[in-house]
């Protein structure tokens, strides 16, 4: 794995373009994005207002123990820990997600680098083309091997969004 360049979060027209999927959820058409994306509703750390962002799912547990709701959704902080949604979750880990038409209250759990390496290695095995693209977007050049994906994953911050029980 080679680090090419870590991109800054998008601004201007790129930011507006990347935020367009939020409108699909607002119009109750989030199901068009399938189960590879989720809408995260979180509280702004300074404003206290509800903020929204659409993120690509890296992993999700299909069914929890005993047939319960999913055990968690995992997303990557592709633009690093300076992303507003990441910093907002650090300040207040309780949030809401919507995947397709399913909604859930969640609590953020910040994963360590070893868990990140395991997740990226798994993601690279299951979705090799998407994993290479994700790594490239984040600033890592990988050769497609499990070891390269694992090393990239150790350098990416992942967040598991666990549904709150009760």
pLDDT tens for 4-43 read 666 666 778 777 777 788 888 888 888 888 788 999 999 9
Count Cβ atoms below 10 Å from residue 20 Cβ, excluding itself: 9
Q: Provide the residue ranges of all domains of the chain, joining segments of one domain with +.
A: 8-163
Give 83's DSSP letter. S
User: What's residue 117's pLDDT?
Assistant: 93
User: What's residue 62's pLDDT?
Assistant: 47
Give 8's DSSP letter. P
| Mean pLDDT confidence for 42-56 | 94
Entry pTM: 0.83
The hierarchical CATH code for the domain 8-163 is: 2.30.110.10
């Amino acid at each position: 794995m080679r680090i090419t360049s870590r991109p800054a979060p998008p601004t201007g027209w790129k930011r507006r373009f990347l935020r367009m999927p939020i409108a699909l959820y607002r119009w109750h058409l989030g199901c068009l994005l399938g189960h590879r994306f989720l809408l995260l509703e979180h509280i702004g750390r300074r404003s206290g207002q509800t903020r929204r962002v659409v993120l690509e799912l890296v992993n999700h547990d299909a069914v929890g123990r005993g047939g319960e709701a999913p055990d968690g959704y995992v997303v990557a902080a592709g633009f690093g820990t300076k992303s507003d949604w990441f910093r907002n979750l650090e300040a207040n880990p309780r949030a809401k997600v919507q995947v397709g038409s399913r909604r859930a209250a969640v609590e953020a759990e910040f994963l360590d680098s070893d868990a990140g390496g395991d997740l990226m290695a798994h993601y690279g095995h299951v979705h090799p083309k998407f994993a290479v693209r994700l790594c490239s977007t984040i600033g890592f050049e990988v050769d497609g091997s499990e070891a390269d994906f694992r090393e990239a994953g150790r350098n990416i911050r992942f967040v598991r969004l666990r549904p709150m029980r009760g």
